[in-house]
Amino acid sequence: MKIICVGRNYSEHIKELSNSKPDKPVIFLKPDTAIVRGNSPFYYPDFSQQIDYECELVVKISKIGKSIPVSCAKNHYNEVALGIDFTCRDLQTEAKEKSLPWTLAKGFDYSAPLSEFYSLEDLGKDVQNLDFSLLKNGETVQQANTSQMLFSVDEIISFVSRFISLKVGDLIFTGTPAGVSSIQIGDKLTACLEGKEVLKCEIK
């Protein structure tokens, strides 16, 4: 199983990090050891002084595929979750300045807490019309609808699968909206999908 992540997929988030708008999806990977399930706490690692939360819609691939046309992409997934793409912003900034990869800043152990998966059929909504939000210590810090993505889920699947074959169980983190900020030990994060609490994560 692999975890494919999209960067810079919401305009307001691109602005808050002073990045430029991409003309094609920005893709990076996390290893499977990044995944944390069951609302486990996140233990602040000693190699970073600035870790940001990034709440994202996560799509699970349900059918193998390579070079999938946009028009067929919907046949390759039917479940979604919310995840947090924890990012060592200090290490990422250092890497960006040196034009080096973000791998360690993004792919470290436990950097991807994940909720349960929900079928789009049960949610009764299109994948590009889902409300999600993140609360930090009870206060809403991120709020978006997936219609605000620059590249849709289907476009991301089509683009990525030209380069990397998709397999059953692969996950796609589809990018974060505005409102990212740092976490501190003691913070409690809660992610909501369609108004329902689906993921909790305490920083320890």
Q: Please give the single-letter amino acid code of residue 146.
A: T
Nearer to Mg ion, 119 or 145 (CB): 145
Chain residues 69-108 in contact with Mg ion, contact rule CB under 5 A? 85
Nearer to Mg ion, 85 or 170 (CB): 85
Nearer to Mg ion, 85 or 154 (CB): 85
Closest CA to 161 of 83, 40, 65, 90: 65
Tell me the C-alpha distance between 141 and 100, whole Å.
Answer: 30
| CB 67, min distance to Mg ion, A | 25
Annotate each residue in 117-136 with x if it binds Mg ion (CB under 5 A) or - if it does not, as one string: --------------------
Residue 191 belongs to what H/E stretch? strand 188-193
The DSSP line for 111-171 is: -EEB---EEHHHHTS-TTS-EEEEEETTEEEEEEEGGGBSS-HHHHHHHHHHHS-B-TT-E
Chain residues 32-61 in contact with Mg ion, contact rule CB under 5 A? 54
* 176 part of the interface to Mg ion, by CB under 5 A: yes
| CB 172, min distance to Mg ion, A | 11
Nearer to Mg ion, 67 or 94 (CB): 94
Nearer to Mg ion, 8 or 76 (CB): 8
Annotate each residue in 139-158 with x if it binds Mg ion (CB under 5 A) or - if it does not, as one string: --------------------
Q: Please give the single-letter amino acid code of residue 48.
A: S
The answer to whether the CB of 88 falls within 8 A of the CB of 109 is no
Interaction site with Mg ion (CB under 5 A): 54, 85, 176
